[in-house]
């Protein structure tokens, strides 16, 4: 019987390879099916086995019948090696001055930015429009970053950290030679991945503006950190839509965990929360849990469905969920050739589009966790982007706020022993509550406008300097998360699927084998 099961798994692997030519059909929303087969956390210990069978994406064979696939999926589900099989689903992208505004001026030699040599030896993994540039008749080529941009040169960047296990893969329109000590990734014809990566990690580029607006120096939060890009989103030719499937997100997150990133940044999510925190169909939540157990802080966009309540997404307590605010920019208006008016800086507000709490999955968990600038953020993009100005443009969204992953990189460089839970705590504990860096009240845009509260911005506006020296740090480990899941009523089966088959809940204690 054991030999029979092994044979079935080999056949299924061959089916995946043979049907690869139609692999993008599922992303296009056509009739083809994709299934995610999860074989369990313990198998991570064998890299070769992970490569072969950690997750298999079962695609329909051209010309086959639906009932044949249903029976095949049923057969796979019954195998003792398989923890679960779930259908594929889709997520949305949550589409300068930021860092000086938050107190991380490069001119201050004693601040967090310079004390950590700008995040040196920290790897930020970004799940976006990247890793291999692949193409077929159903999909436009679109991948993660535009390596020709000045923000990704590696001048002054130290060597790639020794704990990096990944590599730079060549693909369509991208050669491995494009990678350097700053960037590990691939090309981007959309611009979203490039923009996000610039905010987190981009090097200093002077004299940049967008059509004369927001002029100055562009840089990321941790300019000397290293960026590793992972492709999870694709353009679909016949619909012109950019989609991010759970199968691709799962693969990208698994690769990032294996490669040894220190921080994971995801500027994507569903429109509103769809599943509970232990539901295996929520790829971001479940894989983020395993990343956190390995010491990787996971930062996610809170969503762009505001200002309605109960819309914040990526709400698991082990994820740092970020809301978006405005900046303090002033506008310049030329009324006539002889007169120029400079407007007063606009006070900080939680942006209208930023998704709001309360947490619709578990109201006891405050979400979002923290807020950061995400409105009209100037950063690099591709020269293929329609509205780019010499490779730079402004974008808005919680996508542009989630790159406070750059601040996480700085904190990790300063405090190597801080866990993801500790970093989440210091963000909340140290945040600017009620007022912005200039002492002005923080409002929440909407109808009507009001003073912002924790359902709008969590702990408040991120305060990197205070987070670096909070005075008090709380920590959590896997047992604390299990206690939480038990206390809110998740059953033992769902907890075991998330945490591992050897974990059970017995009245007042957690037992892990």
From residue 344, give the alpha-carbon distance in Å to each of 96, 217, 328.
18, 21, 9
In this prediction, residues 56-61 reach a mean pLDDT of 38
pLDDT band (50, 70, 90) for residue 61: very low
Instruction: Answer yes or no: is pLDDT of 72 > 60.
Output: yes
The mean-pLDDT minimum among 49-53, 348-352, 441-445 falls in 49-53
Indicate if 128 belongs to the active site. Answer: yes
pLDDT tens-digit map of 462-507: 999 999 999 889 999 999 999 999 999 898 888 988 887 554 554 4
Pairwise pLDDT comparison (26 vs 340), residue with the higher score: 340
The DSSP secondary structure of 360-419, one letter per residue, reads: SS-TTS-SS-EEEE-SSEEEE--TTSTT-BTTEEEE-SGGGTGGGHHHHHHHHHH-TT--
Three-class DSSP category at 512: strand
What is the pLDDT at residue 79?
76
The Cα 264–Cα 123 span in angstroms is 9
Selected catalytic residue, list 376, 396, 399, 430:
399
The whole-model pTM stands at 0.76
Indicate if 282 belongs to the active site. Answer: no
Task: Report the top-level CATH class of 91-468.
Answer: alpha beta
Percent of the chain residues topping a pLDDT of 90: 32
pLDDT tens-digit map of 366-398: 999 999 998 878 777 766 666 666 677 778 889
What is the pLDDT at residue 149?
64
What is the pLDDT at residue 142?
31
**268-269 and 90-93 beta bridge pairing:** antiparallel
Task: Parse the chain into domains and list their residue ranges.
Answer: 2-88, 91-468, 478-512
Selected catalytic residue, list 128, 190, 369, 456:
128
The mean-pLDDT minimum among 190-194, 279-283, 296-300, 394-398 falls in 190-194
Selected catalytic residue, list 192, 224, 226, 290:
192
pLDDT band (50, 70, 90) for residue 246: confident
pLDDT tens-digit map of 284-316: 999 999 999 999 999 999 999 999 999 999 999
């Amino acid at each position: 019987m054991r030999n029979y099961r092994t044979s079935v798994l080999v056949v299924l692997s061959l089916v995946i390879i043979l049907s690869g030519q139609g692999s993008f059909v599922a992303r296009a929303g056509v009739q083809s099916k994709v299934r995610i087969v999860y074989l369990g956390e313990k198998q991570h210990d064998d890299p070769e086995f992970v490569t072969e069978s950690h997750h298999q994406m079962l695609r329909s064979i051209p010309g086959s019948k639906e009932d044949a696939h249903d029976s095949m999926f049923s057969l796979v589900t019954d195998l003792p090696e398989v923890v679960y099989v779930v259908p594929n689903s889709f997520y949305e992208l949550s589409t300068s001055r930021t860092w000086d505004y938050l107190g991380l001026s490069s001119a201050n030699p004693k601040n967090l930015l310079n004390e950590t040599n700008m995040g040196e030896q920290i790897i930020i993994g970004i799940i976006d429009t990247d890793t291999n540039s692949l193409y077929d008749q159903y999909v436009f080529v679109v991948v993660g970053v535009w390596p020709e941009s000045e923000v990704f040169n590696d001048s002054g960047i130290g060597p790639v950290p020794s704990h990096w296990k990944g590599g730079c893969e060549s693909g369509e329109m991208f050669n491995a030679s494009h990678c350097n000590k700053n960037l590990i990734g691939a090309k981007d014809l959309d611009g979203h991945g490039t923009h996000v990566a610039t905010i987190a990690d981009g090097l200093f580029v002077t004299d940049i503006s967008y059509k004369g607006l927001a002029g100055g120096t562009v840089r990321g939060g941790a300019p000397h950190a290293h960026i590793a890009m992972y492709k999870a989103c694709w353009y679909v030719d016949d619909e012109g839509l950019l989609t991010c499937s759970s199968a691709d997100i799962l693969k990208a997150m698994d690769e990032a965990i294996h490669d040894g990133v220190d921080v994971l940044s995801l500027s994507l999510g569903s429109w509103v929360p769809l599943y509970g925190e232990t539901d295996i169909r929520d790829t971001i939540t479940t894989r983020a849990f395993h990343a956190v157990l390995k010491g990787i802080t996971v930062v996610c966009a809170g969503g762009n469905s505001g200002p309605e309540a109960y819309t914040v997404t990526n709400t698991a307590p082990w994820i740092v969920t970020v809301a978006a605010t405005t900046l303090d920019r002033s506008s310049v208006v030329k009324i006539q050739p002889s007169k120029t008016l400079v407007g007063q800086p606009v006070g900080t507000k939680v942006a209208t589009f930023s998704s709001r709490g309360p947490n619709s999955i578990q109201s006891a968990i405050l979400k979002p966790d923290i807020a950061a600038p995400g409105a009209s953020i100037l950063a690099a993009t591709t020269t293929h982007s329609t509205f780019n100005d010499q490779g730079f443009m402004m974008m808005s969204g919680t996508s542009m706020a989630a790159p406070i992953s750059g601040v996480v990189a700085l904190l990790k460089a300063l405090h190597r022993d801080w866990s993801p839970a500790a970093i989440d705590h210091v963000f909340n504990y140290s945040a600017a509550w009620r007022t912005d860096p200039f002492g002005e009240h923080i409002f929440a845009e909407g109808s009507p406008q009001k003073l912002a509260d924790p359902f709008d911005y969590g702990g408040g506006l991120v305060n990197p300097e205070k987070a670096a020296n909070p005075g008090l740090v709380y920590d959590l480990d896997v047992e604390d998360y299990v206690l939480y899941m038990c206390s809110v009523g998740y059953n033992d089966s769902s907890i075991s699927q998330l945490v591992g088959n050897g974990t059970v809940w017995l009245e007042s204690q957690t037992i892990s084998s």
